[in-house]
Amino acid sequence: MGFKILGKRVLIPERVSELVIDAPEIAQKTKPGNFVILRLSAQGERIPLTIADKDPEKGTITIVYLVVGKTTALLETFGQGDEILDVCGPLGKPTHIEKKGKVVCVGGGTGIAAMHHIAKGHAEVGNEVISIIGARSKDLLLFEQELAKFSAEVLVATDDGSKGHKGFVTDVLDNYLQANEVKEVVAVGPVPMMKAVAGVTKKFGVQTTVSLNSIMIDGIGMCGACRVSVGGEIKFACVDGPEFDAHQVDFDELMQRLRSFINQEQLSYKQFCECHGKEKK
């Protein structure tokens, strides 16, 4: 008995999709910042994915994934009506949200979807949310309209200048912080982006929260694969996080650890693509 996919929306063809999954008990408990662990088949690995949204009344959770390897490539072959074998959650500590004033939420790439749920949580308690999102070009921007529903402003940066500021989200953030008093910055995206955001906000002394995407197996604290150094101490992203004080995180170590199984991951993906007659991207 798996978890049925009730809807699929392709956000960027063959790269990023959104799934709405029937998981009433998980939806009931999900808070911003939580993630789930998925397993697609009996031979499958367990992968963590941040919950991008929920609808407790309909009993659904929404996830957004980027095709980066075998498991996400396999997931991309799933469609409406298909079942995901295992969905486990909601895991991780929820985002600490309190009414405080102006909060800037920065999202990069697929991280925008994960950031969306956190930003929405801040908006719901009455914080003024400024969303800053970035991608290589405008076709790769996600969730712009969804964020616009509750954000005071949605600021955009693209590498190629096809929309908004030409350059990085950190440029936009830097400008914004120079002109505005901000209580907290939240950043979710590729590790280099989160590291750069932490660098910018440190200058301004603004409290900053990042959501980390370490390698995980069980996601419930048992293995320690997801450990990260935060303020010089070992923390487990799955039970102590996934959100941490950005100014305390050792991002370089995290980047290195994400490459732990790079060879095996590439082999696995290559075999999958060969079996499915696809070009590896």
Nearer to other proteins, 3 or 168 (CB): 3
Site pattern 217..236 for other proteins (x: CB under 8 A):
xx-xxxxxx-xxx----x-x
Residue matched to tokens 């939420």:
105
Which residues within the stretch 234-273 sit at the binding site for other proteins (CB under 8 A)? 234, 236, 239, 253, 256-257, 259-261, 264-265, 267-268, 271
d(CA 230, CA 139): 35
Which residues within the stretch 178-207 sit at the binding site for other proteins (CB under 8 A)? none
* Out of 46, 100, 102, 138, the residue judged to bind other proteins by CB under 8 A: 46
Output the CA torsion sign for 13, 14, 16, 20: positive
3-state SS, residue 44: coil
d(CA 47, CA 146): 25
Nearer to other proteins, 82 or 128 (CB): 82
Fill in the amino acid letter for 261.
F
Name 130's bridge partners: 104, 153
Two structure tokens written together for 171: 């440029």
User: Please, what is the minimum distance in Å from the beta carbon of residue 55 to other proteins?
Assistant: 17
* Out of 7, 44, 59, 199, the residue judged to bind other proteins by CB under 8 A: 44
Fill in the amino acid letter for 10.
V
Nearer to other proteins, 15 or 70 (CB): 70
* Out of 54, 70, 117, 195, the residue judged to bind other proteins by CB under 8 A: 70
Q: How big is the chain by its Cα radius of gyration, in Å?
A: 18
Nearer to other proteins, 180 or 271 (CB): 271
User: Please, what is the minimum distance in Å from the beta carbon of residue 202 to other proteins?
Assistant: 22
Beta strand 86-91 with 35-39 is antiparallel
Two structure tokens written together for 101: 């004033």
* Residue 39 found at the interface with other proteins (CB under 8 A): yes
Angle at 171 between CA 127 and CA 141, to 5 degrees: 70
The region of 55-63, 86-94, 99-107, 191-199 touching other proteins under the rule CB under 8 A is: 86-94
Number of residues that bind other proteins (CB under 8 A): 42
What separation in angstroms does the CA of 18 have from each of 208, 236, 275?
27, 27, 24
Interface contacts to other proteins, rule CB under 8 A: 25-26, 29, 39, 43-46, 70-71, 85-91, 217-218, 220-225, 227-229, 234, 236, 239, 253, 256-257, 259-261, 264-265, 267-268, 271
